[in-house]
Amino acid sequence: MLAVAALLSTAAGCGENGMTATLPTADDIVLTEIASGLERPVQLVGIPGDTRLLVVEQRGRIRVLDGGQLRSEPYLDIGDRISSGNEQGLLGIALHPNFASNGYVYANYTNGAGDTRVVRYTERGDGLSLDPATLKEILFVEQPNGNHNGGQLLFGPDGMLYIALGDGGSSGDPRGNGQNLDTLLGAILRIDVDGGDPYAIPAGNPFASGGGQPEIWAYGVRNPWRNDIDAEGGFIYVADVGQNEWEEVSVAPLAETGVNYGWNTVEGPDCFRDSGCDRTGLREPVVWYGHGDGCSITGGHVYRGDAMPALKGTYFYSDYCSGWLRSFRYDAAEDMAVEQREWLIPDLGSVYSFGRDADGEVYILAGSRVYRIDPAP
């Protein structure tokens, strides 16, 4: 077990928007290594009421981490079903809210042709693995290019499944998918996996009765690789990977539907193509930083654990290239990020993703390792 000290930066401000404050109480943390030897780990999910952690490897495996030990036999291996490399592969999973009784695990991956499949598997009775024979397709989306696949799956407190899809790739959204309501690309979808076969459209979706694809819950995203639903706070945090200039995090109330995050009208705080673009009705990011400070945002999670009470409500995030660790709190009344800080940590290499266990503790997935954010001794 490797514990790495991480002192709180005293620098005033993180990112280009310059908002600053002081993180309350805690002045240092440690990163505790809990697993190594993983192959491009891109997600960690805790199982409620269980000690197991599920770790997703992009090349098609789900591994089980239990009691600090990584099981040699995979929980699921679909490496022969996927296209992998760069931004393709097994990109995300989510456990059904009633997983304890039904054993349902949902997965988002790109198939051999590079198209998006959202599917469901069921856990075997012995709890050691998912049964490949139970595969059920939930959603299929054709992908015109090999990048910008998004991949995040999240169940909200409403029991609905939220699916993040990128704009279809290439560069600059050449098809205009971000602002096209007739495609599922460039959007965050919301479906009811319990209300129909394979799903139903929730009545509260903004285009359930017309005007756009009924699955769309929010739109105007480029490549929302990692997002978070903070059920306690009632918000969704969308970390959208940028194009030429800006990486960004936007926050919106879960109760608000039809949110337009702005791509490709805007990128971060700026108009993307037309300097005089109309920003009316767009959800502005609360945090953004330029490509002199990183290359690809890695969205994280809101901390809701008990080990560090002073950090409850703090959102952690990183960058794939730079590997720093930053955080902020969201002030809903002012619609802005406050208490922004950068934590001084050793070089972890490429930060692929974050994870959160059933107790609300937050993890960093970097290189071939998993680290837990812990209080300093």
Domain ranges of the chain: 35-297
Q: Are 165 and 141 in contact (CB under 8 A)?
A: yes
Q: Give the distance, in angstroms, between the CA of residue 118 and the centroid of all CA atoms in the same chain.
A: 15
Q: What is the pLDDT of residue 18?
A: 34
The partner residues of 105 in beta bridges, in order of sequence, read 95, 121
Kindly indicate the confidence band of residue 27, based on its pLDDT and cuts at 50, 70 and 90. Answer: low
**CA atoms of 81 and 69, how far apart (whole Å):** 27
d(Cα 85, Cα 74) in Å, to the nearest integer? 20
CATH dotted code for 35-297: 2.120.10.30
Question: Over the stretch 224-237, which tens digit does the pLDDT of each residue have?
Answer: 999 999 999 999 99
- Pair 358, 301: CB distance under 8 Å: no
Residues 6+ apart with CB under 8 A from 322: 293, 294, 295
Predicted confidence (pLDDT) at residue 130 exceeds the cutoff of 60? yes
pLDDT-derived band at 48, boundaries 50, 70, 90: very high
H-helix or E-strand spanning residue 229: strand 226-230
Q: Once rounded to an integer, what is the mean pLDDT over residues 264-293?
A: 94
pLDDT tens string 304-355:
999 999 999 999 999 999 999 999 999 999 999 999 999 988 889 899 999 9
| Helical spans, DSSP H, in 241-352 | none
Closest CA relative to residue 343, chosen from 305, 374, 321: 374
Mean pLDDT of the chain: 92
Amino acid at 98: N
Alpha helices (runs of H) in the chain, residue ranges in sequence order: 99-102
Q: What is the reported pLDDT for 169?
A: 95
- The residue-averaged pLDDT of 273-277 equals 87
Can you say how many angstroms the Cα of residue 202 is from the centroid of all Cα atoms in its chain? 22
- The pair of structure tokens assigned to 247 is 């990486």
**Among 212, 186, 189, 184, CA closest to 202:** 189
Give the DSSP letter of residue 36.
-
Instruction: Report the pLDDT value the prediction gives residue 182, as an integer from 0 to 100.
Output: 98
Distance in angstroms between the alpha carbons of the first and the last residue of the chain: 14
**121 by DSSP, 3-state: which?**
strand
Measured CA to CA, the distance from residue 143 to residue 151 in angstroms comes to 12
pLDDT of residue 22: 34
How many other C-beta atoms can be found within 10 angstroms of the C-beta atom of residue 327? 26
> What would the two tokens of residue 21 be?
């404050």
Residue found under tokens 């009344």: 333
Mean pLDDT of 49-71: 96
